[in-house]
Structure 1
Amino acid sequence: MQLPHMTVVGGGQMARAFVGGMIQKGVLDTSKLTVVAPSPATGRWWTEHYPECQMMSGSEDPDGQSAFDSSEIVVLAVKPHIIGPVLADPKADMTGKLVISIAAGVPLSTISAGAGHARVVRVMPNTPSLVGEGASAFSTAESVTSTDVEWVESMLGSVGYVVRVSENQLDAVTGVSGSGPAYIYLIIEALADGGVAAGLPRQTALALAAQTVRGAATMVRDTGEHPGVLKDNVCSPGGTTIAAMRVLEQNAVRGALIDAVARAAERSRELAN
């Protein structure tokens, strides 16, 4: 499915991953993209990478053309505390548009009230969307149409895995997959450091660590086996892996990850207040 004209308000790391992934997959044509950049540096990045897109430094250019005039989809890719000022801008007319927010913690009701209508979708993507391996979830207001849902599923599905959830589950999604890449990058870095400590060259250790994480994730996804079963399959009696697992359990790695997800979800709820 080819998406209609889209305006992105923002343009930071998440927008670059989310929108950039769609462009790379051919779902969105850059000539049908308008970016309202919050800073000159952000604007330069988009101009350099996607020169065919239309750039604006505000919601209205000097000639009075609204950034939303030609768009059917508006993506609010800004920090949660910026949502209010964006929606309060009298020049930001989103009437008749599908409004998609990727701001963590800001409820559908707040966005609907600010946008002046109820065709609103909340999305929690993650940065691996840029390489087509995203894990995204979305929740919709009641007035969203079936076409709107098809657009959202096409957008998110083009850059990875997508699931529709109830709004009260989005904070948990933020804790698991929204913030999750950072946890995994930390694990990859630590595995590589361990490899270096054991005598491997840095690049070899990093490549092995990254591929190991990718392979393990693919095993979980493609086999349908519980990760505990796959873990047990690697742990031979008296072997190297079970010795390593004992160290991980002694250092409460499992508990730390559970607590990290719970704290990220809690923080997402705090941002709504």
Structure 2
Amino acid sequence: MAEQAKEPRVLIFGTGTIGGGIAKILSKKTKPLLYDRDFLKAEALAKEFGCIAVKTKDEGLSQAEFIILCVKPQDLNQTALEIRGRLKKEHVIISVLAGVSIEKLQGAFGTNKIVRATLNLPSLYASGLIGLVAHEATTEWERHQSENLFKKMGHVIWLNEGRIDALTALSGSGPAFLLVYYEAMVDAGIALGIPVDLGKKIAQETLSGTMEMIKQSKKHPGELRWQIASPAGCTIAGLKQLEDESLRSAVINIFLATHDRIKDFD
């Protein structure tokens, strides 16, 4: 297959939450193929997003160059049995399966044209962080095209596979922990007499504005914090309470516990 400037045809294999979310994002600029054991499910998504549903694996594989594997990890072996013999040497498999290594994917599918992708939930809203790892046998063009696909979903970083679990803990699970903080801010607002809808707006804008400030200022968070906390003021009183409650230590321990649990799946 010639390495061309055009975008490759993509087959999304599995149209659950992740597969459907990827289809929604990619369909804004291209028409990915969708395959699911439940054809009606794939067909409904295709109609909704302007994609193309295929009835059989062969129909999808014969047209696609890149296969985004979105099945459940427990369905990996069965899926591999079904398509391993149908793969061509030019097919590239992109796996979004959590906890499944490139080595295991290589053994299951009998190919080394493999890219492993780690997404977080914001990726399905085109605001995510996507980590990519590629087998050394993939070409520069294949890696470039893989990156281009996921750039539509957010910011892409390349890393070695040994850091995937850490990325999953920080960026994959991290949004859940931030959502708890967001909820707590809204609850605090209620306790202070702020209506829920207004409290949500205040919390959202405060959190997003703070992140934008960090990006634009390029200053250390501690330096920015000192700009907010005036001597003997209300902010330093709150910061003292934060330290008394050991929030910093709790946050670190939350991520370490998450990482330990991820390791249990390896």
Question: Same-fold call, TM > 0.5?
Answer: yes
Does 2:24 align with 1:20?
yes
**Contact 1:104/1:271 (8 A) holds in 2:** no
Contact 2:27-2:49 at 8 Å conserved across structures: no
- In structure 2, C-alpha distance between the alignment counterparts of 1:66 and 1:138, rounded to whole Å: 27
The correspondence for 1:172, drawn from 166, 169, 191, is: 166
CA contact (8 A) 2:114 2:134 kept: yes
1:11 aligns with 2:15: yes
Q: Which runs of 4+ in 1 moved over 4 A?
A: 38-42
Partner of 1:112: 106
Deviation for aligned residue 1:66: 3.7
Of the candidates 132, 135, 144, which is equivalent to residue 138 of structure 2? 144
Q: Does 1:248 align with 2:242?
A: yes
The one-letter amino acid of 2:49's match is: Y
Relative distance call for 1:98 and 1:200 in structure 2 (3 A) is same
How far, CA to CA, are the matches of 1:52 and 1:15 in structure 2? 12
2:111 is paired with a residue whose SS is coil
Alignment size in residue pairs: 261
1:73 aligns with 2:66: yes
Pairwise CA RMSD:
2.2
Provide the residue aligned with 1:93 in structure 2: 86
Per-residue CA deviation, residues 109-135 of structure 1 (Å, 9 max, x unaligned), is: 111121211010111121212332111
Correspondences of 1:124-143 after superposition (within 5 Å): 124-143=118-137
Distance 1:16 1:165 in 2: 26
The CA distance in 2 between the partners of 1:222 and 1:152, in whole Å, is: 29
Q: Indicate whether 1:35 and 2:34 are aligned.
A: yes
Paired position in structure 2 for 1:212: 206
Distance 1:182 1:42 in 2: 28
Shift in CA distance, 79/235, structure 1 to aligned 2, threshold 3 Å: farther
Tell me what 1:262 maps to.
256
Please tell me whether the aligned partners of residues 173 and 265 of structure 1 are also in contact (alpha carbons under 8 angstroms): no
Show structure 2 runs of 5+ residues with no match. none
Q: Deviations over 1:71-110 (max 9, x none)?
A: 0000112232222221122577333211111111111011
Instruction: Give the direction of change, closer, same or farther, for the CA distance of 1:197–1:50 in structure 2 (3 Å limit).
Output: same
User: Which structure's residues are more often helix, by fraction?
Assistant: 2
Question: Secondary structure of the equivalent of 1:67?
Answer: helix
Gap change, CA 1:44 and 1:90, over 3 Å in 2: closer
Shift of 1:2: 5.5
| Partner Cα separation in structure 1 for residue 164 and residue 73 of structure 2 | 14
Q: Is the 8 A contact 1:171 1:266 kept in 2?
A: no
Q: Indicate whether 1:84 and 2:77 are aligned.
A: yes
State the identity as a percent. 24
